[in-house]
Structure 1
Amino acid sequence: MRSPAELDDVPWHTLTHAYGSAEDVPELIRALYQDDEDTVDEAIHELYGNIHHQGTVYPASAPAVPFLAHAAHHVPAKREDLLMLLATLADNAPGDTESPRRPGSSVAAICAELARVLPELLPCLDDTDRGVRRAVLRVIAAVAELLPAELRAEVLARIGGLYATDPVAAVRADAMVVRARSGISEVEALDSPLPEVRLAAAVLAAERSGPPYAPRLVEVLTEDGADPDPGDEGFPWPGTASPDQHLTDLLVQDPDAALTVAAGWIAKGDIGSRGSWIARRIMETWRDREPEALDLLLAALPHRRGAGTPAHGLSTIGRWIRHVPKPRTELRDALYEYARTEQEESAGPALLALTHSRDPRALDLVLRRPDPQTLTAAALSFAEAGGRLIPAIRSALAAGATGNEAIDLIGALERFGTAAGQAQPEVIDCLDTGRGAVVAARLLGRIGVPSPQATTVLLRAAASTDPSLNIAAAVAHYRLTGEAEPALRTFETLLATAKGPTHWYLAGLTPLGRAAAPLLPVIEPLLTARYDWTRMAAAEAHHAITGSPDRALPVLADLLSATPVGLSALKALAGIGEVPEHLRPTLRAFAFSPLRLLSDTPFSEDTHPDEELRALAWRLLTAG
């Protein structure tokens, strides 16, 4: 250990942390010894932010270790916090590239310093505060493999004493984990009379075995994991994840086990929404598990009443039920009952979920109390009901809907095809008044109903200073009139003056088709652009203009991957209807993977990107 008197012996000005020079570190360490608790807490907070920042450590981190150890020894009121700071600095997981044994790794110097001062921290194992004992066990777990053999044997023997006799079950569990990570297996731990020890042993066993997990492990995790110890922040798992997150991450690797555990936790009250969270993670991670997970979320809804309302759970159901082809009747009936209640906090999310489930009863409820969000959802689910929904959407637009509400309502009209032409007056007014102007311009072109008022407003919008509106209005004008010149001028100007990636512009010109042929000299060089989105959009535009896939196919094939740009390339390939033979294994991986390869986004209103990836891959495979 090093006392504050030695702080000036370290050349802090030559060291750095998250915010630059480490010259402020001595002042923060001295502040740890102040009598004012707020000052000490602020110093600890600052140290967490600079010598350890979001999981990263710095050149100034290791030199601070012996000083922090001294403070932990001499500032008993903050001993737990300081020990946890030391443990966090030294965090490393088995198999990490940032191993403490790897010379030059960022954590190696920290662990070396901590191993040197550890003997002076061992008295903390006898501290009367359970949090301190747990924190020092976390410190030991980080550096046990670096200790000299004799010291390591002594440390593990003392930890064995804690495992056998500590009055706090959570401390015994921690001690068992540290010994297990050091190669000392407590074979009886899985059958311990202490649930905390059983749970820790089951997690360790799951780590070692990997999925699928043995029935006995699943049983223990179900029975003993439902109600976590409120003081488990000191649990000596590797890395900076909380014990609960670590357990969830393990469970999600085995969806059958995870759903079993989640069902057990929900049956016991879904404490902390932990069972619900696992169900949600399963849907985010694995394909085709939504029906089972949604049943669990439904079972968890009553447990939310005590905490206010089940609104959050209903919102989660609403997000995922739209991806289930045929939601169960029991689930839809439950949503209907929630949607009929007078509790608006629950009724709103329930009605959205019911609408996303495509239950016919939702349509009447939406029209009884229409609002932009439910009308938009209804347009997605009931495109055949345009005769009832279009008047309601027109009324909402005429009433002055603005911002995202206007954007969503105008976008919803597109679902009704040419029938949306009934709303042309309201859409023209939105474009003219700048309410959702880009989507309004786009819809006017797609409706395909020419009128002097529409073409005049579109020409005026095409002269806007907003490039997105320029493009949408110019293309819509072309679609209504067949006059390509205004659109060509717009694209020529935008492509000539662009200072960054041009894919947004290129994507907009594909509706022009062969009429955009004069732009080919600008587009062809972009087929080899450095930015992947630009190459993708250039390939799509080139095919739209020329009708030939020869130049586009190699570019799109090269971009094909389970990424957003790769999905766009796959859509373009599907539009062309051809796929190079060497891509068929990739398409089979997309089509048959049990894991989700793409995550959902807030912008995927009706189709999950991963489902779109799978469907397009399957379509191309079966077409050939």
Structure 2
Amino acid sequence: MRSPAELDQVQWHDLTHAHGPAEDVPELIRALHGDDAEAVDEAIQELYGTIHHQGTVYPASAPAVPFLAHAVLHVPGRRDELLMLLAVLADHDPQDTGSPHWAGRPVAAICAELARLLPQLLPCLADPARAVRRAALRVVAAVADLLPAEVRAAAERRVDELYATDPVPAVRADALGVLARLGRETEALDSPLPEVRLAAALLAAERSGPPYEKRWVDVLAEDGAEPDPGDDGFPWAGVTSPEDRLTHLLTRDVDAGLTAAGRWIAAGDLGSRGSRLGRQIAETWRDREPEVLDLMLAALPHQRDARGRAECLTTIGHWIERLPEPGADLRDTLHRHARSDDESAAPALLALARSRDPRALELVLRTPRPDTLRAAASSCPGAADRLIPEIRRTLASGATGNEAVDLIGALTGFGAAARQAQPELLDCLRTRRAAVVAARQIGLNGVVTPEITALLHEATHSTDPSLRAAAALAHHRLTGEAAPALRVFEALLTARGPVHWHLSGLQPLGGAAEPLLPLIEPLLTARYEWTRMAAAEAHHTVTGSPERALPVLAGLIGPTPVGLSALKALAAIGRVPEELRPVLRSFAVSPLRLLPAMPFSDVHPDEELRTLARSLLASH
């Protein structure tokens, strides 16, 4: 260990941390030993942002370890926080230590320092404060795989003593986990302590992987229902909290996860553990929406406040469209909550509208909001005569941002009836409120007047590139004139910065965009994959020939956002290279979601991926 008096012996100016030269590290370490509690708080926070930053460590991190270890023993009021800092600095994947590059990594130097100093830190395992004992266990776990035999044996004796005698069950449970990291497996499923049984089942399931044995699942479901009553639970490597570790484990085995979530909800959904696990399962596994929505329905009565109810109702609203026929119990519950006067009413009404329940329309019109109007427009396209006036009124009242986008999006499914809102759309374009989507809808409406074409022409000179493109395409749709659009897109495709958004917008021009081919063709080999994808799509749009586009798109296919876009482009071309069929089959049959949800997207990307894959496999 090294005291603050030795800080100047380190050439900190030659070392770096997250924000550059590490010259400020000595001052932060000295502050740990001061009497100003606020300054100590700030120093610890700064150390988490410099020598450790979002899971990354730096050349200055290892030299700080002996000073931090000294502070652990000499700043007793902050012992647990400093031990945790040492533990997270040393976090690593044990598999990495066999890599030929391990020795040169900053984390290897940190682990070497901490392993050397560990014998002096082991007495912290006997500290009177449970938080310190738990943090000390976390330090041992961080370097358990790298300890010399003698140090490992001493650490195991100390940890074993805690496991056998500590008066706090949570400490014993942590000790069981550390013993496992030290290489000793201990059967504890029959322990009288729920915390220890839970830790034992979790360790057994982690070692085996899914599917988990029923006896482990029974313990996880029974003893995992209640959060750790202590407020000093520490995250282990790779997770942000002990609860996240358990949720991650159960999410890997969907049947085990659904069983545990159901039991936790039946036990009162304490801390929203069951409903949270259900939400994670829906985001991870395909076709489990019916079970998850049943869980959310069961969890609703256990929520202790409107926020908890709103979270359950939001989950229902997110997935209810995946049910072919939402049950009457579910819809009645949504209807009841939609008529409440707290914050749960809004997500309940949105879910009710998405459930295609006819009662939703009256409630939407009684308390109209842009998102519920859009949901009602999608589920009740025959109600245009009632919805469009309300959409027009809300737009005319000055809706902006995402609210205006939702309102204009609601018009899309109404076809020619959307023309009724032309005055409001023109005002949005004129006042630059959601002007990009307003311009697109104006182009789709098919109404041509001198005022409309003049407004669109004026918008093609906007400082907003997206608006220039949307206005140019709408102008082309309405007038058939290609020259203004070609002028706009030539400028956009030669400007600095990303061009893939603009390439993707060329489809309405079709062959009229042929003069832009000299700008498009070089982008087929661009370094940025989104640019290559959009260039291939645009090349096929303009030429009608798939020969240049196919190899580019085929090389991008994968379970990624750009891979999904490439798959959409292949579907539009109507040809799929034979070598892609195994990949498409994996997209079609995977029980796991291959793509996560995207914000502000009406369709889950994974559903698009699966649907496209199935369609292409069936047609070729």
Place the TM-score, normalised by the shorter chain, in its bin. Answer: over 0.9
Partner of 2:278: 279
Who is 2:301 aligned against? 302
Counterparts of 1:98 and 1:390, CA distance in 2:
65
Per mean C-alpha deviation after superposition, the further-off stretch among 78-87 and 91-100 is 91-100
Deviation at 1:481, TM superposition (A): 1.7
Shift of 1:65: 1.5
Shift of 1:202: 0.7
Which residue matches 1:116? 116
- C-alpha displacement of 1:308: 5.5
- Structure 2 counterpart of 1:608: 604
The within-5 A match list for 1:551-562 is 551-562=548-559
Residues 119-175 of structure 1: CA distance to partner in whole angstroms, max 9, x if unpaired? 222222222111111111111122233333233223212222221111111111122
Mapped to 1, the partners of 2:421 and 2:306 lie a distance apart of 43
> Aligned pair 1:545/2:542, yes or no?
yes
- Once the 2 structures are TM-superposed, how far is the Cα of residue 256 of structure 1 from its aligned partner? 0.8
SS in 2 for 1:345: coil
Superposed counterparts of 1:518-529, under 5 Å: 518-529=515-526
Distance 1:100 1:223 in 2: 44
Alignment of 1:260-271 (within 5 A): 260-271=259-270
Q: How many Å separate the matches in 2 of 1:99 and 1:88?
A: 21
Following superposition, the deviation at residue 104 of structure 1 comes to: 2.2
Contact 2:306–2:344 (CA under 8 A) maintained in structure 1: no
Q: Which residue of 2 aligns with 1:620?
A: 616
The separation in 2 between residues aligned to 1:161 and 1:200, in whole angstroms, is 17
Instruction: Give 1:54-203 correspondences, 5 Å limit.
Output: 54-96=54-96, 102-187=102-187, 189-203=188-202
Q: CA deviation at 1:96?
A: 4.1
Percent identity at matched positions? 69
Conserved? CA contact 1:588–1:617, under 8 Å: yes
Q: Which amino acid aligns with 1:620?
A: L
1:38 aligns to what?
38
- 2:584 is aligned with 1:587: yes
Secondary structure of 2:106's counterpart equals coil
Pair 1:100–1:195, CA change in 2 (3 A): farther
Give distance in 1, aligned partners of 2:437 and 2:311. Answer: 30
What is the alpha-carbon distance in structure 2 between the residues aligned to residue 332 and residue 144 of structure 1? 53
1:231 aligns to what SS in structure 2? coil
Q: Are the structure 2 counterparts of residues 233 and 248 from structure 1 closer, same or farther at C-alpha, using a change threshold of 3 Å?
A: farther
CA distance in 1, matches of 2:35, 2:460: 67
Alpha carbons 2:96, 2:102 under 8 Å: kept? no
How far apart in 2 are the matches of 1:461 and 1:579?
A: 39
Matching of residue 448 in structure 1 with residue 452 in structure 2:
no
The equivalent of 2:421 in structure 1 is 423
Q: Once superposed, what is the RMSD of the aligned Cα atoms? A: 2.0
CA contact (8 A) 2:239 2:245 kept: no
Aligned to 2:385: 387
Deviation at 1:621, TM superposition (A): 0.7
1:475 match: 473
User: In the TM superposition, what is the alpha-carbon distance from 1:233 to its structure 2 partner?
Assistant: 4.4
Return the alpha-carbon distance in structure 1 between the equivalents of residues 511 and 467 of structure 2.
Answer: 22
- Residues 505-514 or 143-152, more deviating: 143-152
Q: Taking structure 1 as reference, are residues 524 and 104 closer, same or farther at Cα in structure 2, changes over 3 Å only?
A: closer
Q: Residue 564 in 1 paired to residue 549 in 2?
A: no
| CA-to-aligned-CA distance 1:82-129 (integer Å, 9 cap, x gap) | 111111211224334698994223222112111222222222222211
Partner of 1:359: 357
| Letter aligned with residue 524 of structure 2 | L
Distance 1:65 1:384, change over 3 A: same
Q: Please tell me whether residue 510 in structure 1 is matched to residue 507 in structure 2.
A: yes
Distance apart, 1:39 and its partner CA? 2.2
Task: Give the superposition deviation at 1:366.
Answer: 0.9
Q: Deviations over 1:211-241 (max 9, x none)?
A: 0111111111111111122337455733453
Contact 1:94 1:238 survives alignment (8 Å): no
CA distance in 1, matches of 2:397, 2:312: 32
Give, in angstroms, the shift of residue 319 of structure 1: 1.9
Q: Which residue of 1 aligns with 2:596?
A: 599
- Tell me the amino acid that sits aligned with residue 586 of structure 1: V
Distance 1:488 1:311, change over 3 A: same
One-letter amino acid of the structure 2 residue matched with residue 462 of structure 1 = T
Assess, with a 3 A threshold, how the Cα gap between structure 1 residues 489 and 61 changes in structure 2: closer, same or farther.
closer
Q: Which residue of 2 aligns with 1:219?
A: 218
Distance 1:235 1:409 in 2: 46
How do 1:331-370 and structure 2 match up within 5 A?
A: 331-341=330-340, 343-370=341-368
Decide whether the 8 Å contact of 2:197 with 2:223 is kept in 1.
Answer: yes
Per-residue CA distance 1:395-420 (angstroms, 9 max, x = gap) = 22223322322222112111112221
* Structure-1 residue corresponding to 2:317: 318
Match of 1:436 in 2: 434
Residues 397 and 235 of structure 1: CA distance in aligned 2, closer, same or farther (over 3 Å): closer
Letter of the structure 1 residue corresponding to residue 352 of structure 2: L
1:359–1:62 CA distance, 2 compared to 1 (3 A): same
- Which residue identity is paired with 1:7? L
Q: Conserved in 2, the CA contact under 8 Å of 1:99 and 1:105?
A: no
Distance 2:35 2:461 in 1: 67
5+ residue gaps in structure 2? none
Partners of 2:225 and 2:100 in 1: CA distance: 34
Contact 2:13 2:22 in 1 (8 A): yes
Opposite residue 414 of structure 2, the aligned amino acid is F
d(CA) in 2 for partners of 1:66, 1:426: 68
Q: How far apart are residue 460 of structure 1 and its match?
A: 2.1
Stretch moving more, 364-373 or 279-288: 364-373
Structure 1 pair 510–26 and aligned structure 2 pair: CA distance change class (3 A) = same
Distance 1:508 1:292 in 2: 40
1:407 equivalent in alignment to 2:405: yes
Mapped pair 1:205 → 2:204: yes
Q: Is the 8 A contact 1:29 1:43 kept in 2?
A: yes
Change (3 A) 1:421 1:97: farther
TM-score (norm 1): 0.95
Superposition deviation, residue 267 in structure 1: 1.5
Cα deviation 1:239-282 (Å, max 9, x = unaligned): 45321111111111101111111111112222221211111111
CA distance in 1, matches of 2:69, 2:523: 58
Unaligned runs of 5+ residues in structure 1 are none
Measured in 2, the distance between the counterparts of 1:5 and 1:246 equals 40
Q: Deviations over 1:570-596 (max 9, x none)?
A: 111111211111111111111111111
Structure 1 residue 471 displacement after superposition:
1.6
Amino acid at match of 2:439: A
Cα distance between partner residues in 1 of 2:466 and 2:398: 22
Distance in 2 separating the partners of 1:246 and 1:309: 22
Q: Is the 8 A contact 1:99 1:108 kept in 2?
A: no
Distance 1:218 1:584 in 2: 37
Q: Cα distance, 1:603 vs. partner?
A: 2.5
Does residue 572 of structure 2 align to residue 575 of structure 1? yes
Q: Which moved more, 1:379-388 or 1:404-413?
A: 379-388
Letter in 2 for 1:21: P
User: What SS does structure 2 have at the residue aligned with 1:218?
Assistant: helix
Match of 2:9 in 1: 9
Q: TM-score, normalization: structure 2?
A: 0.96
Quick check: 2:62–2:106 contact (8 Å CA) kept in 1? Answer: no
Moved more, 84-93 or 147-156: 147-156
Whole-angstrom CA distance in 2 between matches of 1:147 and 1:567: 46
Is the CA contact 2:22–2:60 (under 8 Å) kept in the aligned structure 1?
yes
* AA in 1 matched with 2:367: R
> C-alpha distance in 2, partners of 1:145/1:405?
54
3-state SS of 2:227 partner: coil
Q: Deviations over 1:174-215 (max 9, x none)?
A: 22221122222222x111000111011011101111001111
CA contact (8 A) 1:100 1:111 kept: no
**Structure 1 residues 244, 308: CA separation in 2 closer, same or farther (over 3 Å shift)?**
closer
Give the whole-Å Cα distance in 1 for the aligned partners of 2:98 and 2:498.
Answer: 36
